Structure formats: C-alpha cells, structure tokens
Structure 1
Amino acid sequence: MRCLTLIFITLVASPAFAESFDRPIPQAQSATAELWFLLGSLALIAALVLVQRLVARS
C-alpha cells in the first residue's frame, strides 16, 4: 500500500502536468496613481524632515 501511494504521488506531481510559467505583463500607471504616489512621497519627505528636526533638538 505504501508503494502504491508513492507511485501515485510521483505521477500526480509529475512535471508533465505542470503548466509553464507565464510572466505577468506590467500595467501602465494611471495619472491618478502617479498623483497619489507624488502625494505619498511628499508626505514621507515631510515626515522625515520633521523627525530629523525633532531628533536634532534633543
């Protein structure tokens, strides 16, 4: 029974049944996504400047 299970697992996991990997196609950024990225980047820079000023005072 153990041998039959091993043969079954080997056949099921065979590379012949595996699909080939299709690389995902990157989608273009929309203008809205670019705007939100810009706003997020500016907010991050502002937060880093504030933290740097806070740490410099101590």
Structure 2
Amino acid sequence: MRLFLPLTGFFVLAGSRLFAESFDRPIPQAQSATAELWYALACITLVLSMVVVQWLVSRR
C-alpha cells in the first residue's frame, strides 16, 4: 500500500498537466454609456454623503 501512494500522486499530477488547457487572458470590454452614468451618480452620491458626514461631525 505504501508503494502505490507515491505512484498515484505522480499519475494524478502527470494527468492533470496532460489535459490542462492554456490560459487565455480575458479581453476587456468597453464600458457602456449607461454604466458610465451609474458610475458618475455613485461617485457624486459618495462625495455628497462624505460632505454630510463631515457636516454632522463638525457640529458636535
């Protein structure tokens, strides 16, 4: 049993390298106008919320 354990590890590693596919890098897609609009709204909302928090904290 101890003799077969290293052999099975070797065959598993050798088999995984034989059937593995090469890595293809993903191609980045262009952003749509809708996505840019939502991103701009999110940025503006974040800045406004930080201004409100600063205003609330400074009042104390």
The TM-score bracket by the shorter chain reads 0.7 to 0.9
Q: TM-score when scaled to structure 2?
A: 0.77
**Letter of the 1:12 counterpart:** G
Q: Which moved more, 1:4-13 or 1:38-47?
A: 4-13
Q: Give unmatched runs, 5+ long, in structure 1.
A: none
| 1:12 aligned residue (12, 15, 20) | 15
User: Which stretches of structure 1, 4 residues or more, deviate above 3 A after TM superposition?
Assistant: none
1:37 aligns with 2:33: no
- C-alpha distance in 2 between matches for 1:9 and 1:34: 47
Q: Give unmatched runs, 5+ long, in structure 2.
A: none
Q: Over aligned residue pairs, what C-alpha RMSD do you find?
A: 1.5
- C-alpha distance in 1 between matches for 2:13 and 2:47: 54
